[in-house]
Amino acid sequence: MPAIWKEAVRKIAKTSPNVNPYAVATSALQKAGDLKPGTREATKKGEMRGKHSEGWRHAHPAKDGGRQRAKRLLKDYE
């Protein structure tokens, strides 16, 4: 299964226990173009988004530009 789908299922299961996380994640990712229609196979876009999931961002904090820019801007005003 694609990494982006696994991450979506995990988050949906954690926040919404009364729904089927597999169906919701599959539907949402197919609508967004991250999974091919009618399958759980990732598109090229889905593969790229899966590589930059939460785990990757945690391991590479310098690549998370928004947080780094915010820290620099705050230092400018101190």
Give me 25's structure tokens: 């994640």
According to the model, what pLDDT value does residue 4 have? Answer: 85
According to the model, what pLDDT value does residue 45 have? Answer: 87
| Predicted TM-score (pTM) of this structure | 0.64
Spell out the per-residue pLDDT of the chain, length 78, in tens. 888 898 899 999 999 989 999 999 999 999 999 899 999 899 888 888 887 766 666 666 665 556 666 666 555 665
According to the model, what pLDDT value does residue 23 have? Answer: 94
Contacts of 34 (CB under 8 A, 6+ apart): 2, 4, 5, 42, 43, 45, 46, 49, 50
Contact 64, 71 (CB under 8 A): no
According to the model, what pLDDT value does residue 78 have? Answer: 53
